[in-house]
Amino acid sequence: MSQNKQLGFDTVCIHGGHQLDAKRAHLTPIYATSTYTFDSAEHGDAIFSGKTPGYAYGRFGNPTVNEAEDRIAMMEAYGIKDEQGNPLQLKAILHASGMGAITTMLLGNLKAGDKMLSHHSLYGGTQELLDKVICNLGIEIIIIDFHDIEKVKATIAGDPAIKMLYIETPANPTIQCVDLEELTKIGKAHNLIVCADNTFATPYLTQPFKYGVDFVMHSTTKYLNGHGTAVGGILIGKDIDRMKTVINKTKNLLGANSNAFEAFLLTNGLRTFSLRMERHCTNGEKVAAFLAAHPAVETVYYLGLASHPDHATAMKQMKHAGAMMSFELKGGLDAGKRFINSLQLLTHAVSLGTCDTLLSHPASTTHAGVPREKRLEFGVSDGLIRMSVGLENVEDIIADLTQALANA
Ligand SMILES: *Cc1c(COP(=O)(O)O)cnc(C)c1O
């Protein structure tokens, strides 16, 4: 597809990165192959050394995987100009999971003696990766509150060993949203590597490259796939040479690559991404308004509500507040369990961003093993319910919530 003409974003979600198949299949097939053939010793040498574009081995690259990578790179770069005023070029590398993409980003950029600075509300898996794996490699993790911009400035200015600013926004459990523009400005002023986990917002709502970040990560398992059919992750970078060399090599050597089948499911999901996001947003807004007015609900954490502490920041950097929210029931832990057990239509499951509405009760599931004190400190109160509002008719979502709240 020509990259010269600026196509609409919806069109990019459908056609972006597609190349005519050798057998003229309409959709890029699932290239289920572990290796590729060479014409000659010279051809093999040229491909292996990167002088000629082509595929050598499944862990390094695959045409089905490549299509997903190119499409998502175009979506994240959409409408953004580089420093020369040309359309921003990005390179994306698909991974086995969001955690795989985050691991490549960290290990491809940090070494022993480096420090990284992050916010106290991160995805649980990321927090554990930092606490249980990365910190054992001589890399120090500093966690502060990114809402406190002065504290961020002082921390960075006072410690030259800090090499990276790791941002995730919005984030669990209370859907916190920190200021991408301000944080990136501070990070870049000190020459830090700035990265953002954009899983919750997606490129539909926020484009972190607009603010000058170096890397964006996604769990494609969530909104990008959108149908809950595959686990995957993507790492996107603007330093194309570095992405093609050091970063790609890190992925290859970690063995964190994706595969053709899951990449196919992802590209298929991306075709309806814009349409899905539109509906997620309108449903999310209506469900949040319903919950905010319900007598059994103590608090609703939704970025679209003026009562959310990060409402103003969210409205500055997000096109819409999206469809992720959490809410506290007045009745605490028992009410939370009764509510979840009473759901008839909506799905009780972790994960997010799928067509169907997913609800989970962290205190009895993902955070049951965390001591109560610590859990409360993270904002996971006894009655907190997290919800990813899906694409069902909103009346049906609200009807199921209404009857489950009556039982709570
Ligand atoms: C799910 C998720 C991850 C991890 O992704 P996996 O695909 O499960 O490995 C990372 N960050 C955020 C914000 C997530 O929601």
**What's the rounded mean pLDDT across residues 206-225?**
98
Q: How far, in Å, from the CA of 168 to the mean position of ligand 1?
A: 11
Confidence category of residue 367, pLDDT binned at 50, 70, 90: confident
Nearest CA to ligand 1 atom 8: 98
Residue 224 has pLDDT above 90, yes or no: yes
**Dihedral Cα 354, 360, 362, 367, nearest 10 deg:** -60
Q: How far, in Å, from the CA of 83 to the mean position of ligand 1?
A: 31
**What's the rounded mean pLDDT across residues 96-121?**
97
| pLDDT tens per residue, range 99-110 | 999 999 999 999
Helix 98-109 to helix 124-132 angle (10° resolution) is: 40
Atom of ligand 1 nearest to the CA of 200: 13
Tell me how crowded residue 377 is: count the other CB atoms within 10 A of its CB. Answer: 11
Confidence category of residue 1, pLDDT binned at 50, 70, 90: very low
Confidence category of residue 2, pLDDT binned at 50, 70, 90: very low
Atom of ligand 1 nearest to the CA of 172: 13
Best residue among 94, 102, 105, 123 to mutate for probing ligand 1, ranked by most atoms within 8 Å of CB: 123
Q: Is ligand 1 within 6 A of the CB of residue 262?
A: no
Residue 3 has pLDDT above 80, yes or no: no
For position 172, what pLDDT does the model report? Answer: 85
Q: Is ligand 1 within 6 A of the CB of residue 198?
A: no
Burial class (CB within 10 angstroms; exposed 0-12, middle 13-18, buried 19+) of 267: buried
**What's the rounded mean pLDDT across residues 30-45?**
96
Q: Is ligand 1 within 6 A of the CB of residue 166?
A: no
Q: H helices of 133-272, where?
A: 149-157, 180-189, 202-205, 240-242, 248-254, 260-270
For position 333, what pLDDT does the model report? Answer: 87
Q: How far, in Å, from the CA of 153 to the mean position of ligand 1?
A: 28
Q: Is ligand 1 within 6 A of the CB of residue 267?
A: no
Chain centre to alpha carbon of residue 379: 21
Residue 357 has pLDDT above 90, yes or no: yes
CB within 8 Å of 31: residues ≥ 6 apart: 62, 63, 64, 260
Q: How far, in Å, from the CA of 202 to the mean position of ligand 1?
A: 12
**What's the rounded mean pLDDT across residues 135-163?**
97
Q: How far, in Å, from the CA of 228 to the mean position of ligand 1?
A: 13
Query: Structural domains in the chain?
Result: 9-30+61-270 (3.40.640.10), 274-406 (3.90.1150.10)
Q: Are 162 and 155 in contact (CB under 8 A)?
A: yes
| pLDDT tens per residue, range 281-300 | 999 999 999 999 999 999 99
Q: How far, in Å, from the CA of 138 to the mean position of ligand 1?
A: 24
Q: Is ligand 1 within 6 A of the CB of residue 313?
A: no
| pLDDT tens per residue, range 318-336 | 999 999 999 999 998 899 9
| pLDDT tens per residue, range 377-400 | 878 888 899 999 999 999 999 999
3-state DSSP assignment of residue 176 = strand
3-state DSSP assignment of residue 255 = coil
Nearest CA to ligand 1 atom 11: 123
Atom of ligand 1 nearest to the CA of 352: 15
List the one residue out of 189, 200, 134, 107 whose CA is nearest residue 386: 200
Residue 379, sorted as left (phi over 0), alpha (psi -120 to 50) or beta, turns out to be: left
Q: Where are the beta strands (DSSP E) in 74-135?
A: 91-95, 115-119
Tell me how crowded residue 246 is: count the other CB atoms within 10 A of its CB. Answer: 13
Q: How far, in Å, from the CA of 325 to the mean position of ligand 1?
A: 16
List the one residue out of 71, 92, 64, 95 whose CA is nearest residue 263: 64
CB within 8 Å of 93: residues ≥ 6 apart: 69, 101, 104, 234, 235, 236, 243, 247, 248, 251
Q: Is ligand 1 within 6 A of the CB of residue 197?
A: yes
**What's the rounded mean pLDDT across residues 332-353?**
94
As a whole-number percent, the residues of the chain with pLDDT over 70 amount to: 99
Nearest CA to ligand 1 atom 2: 219
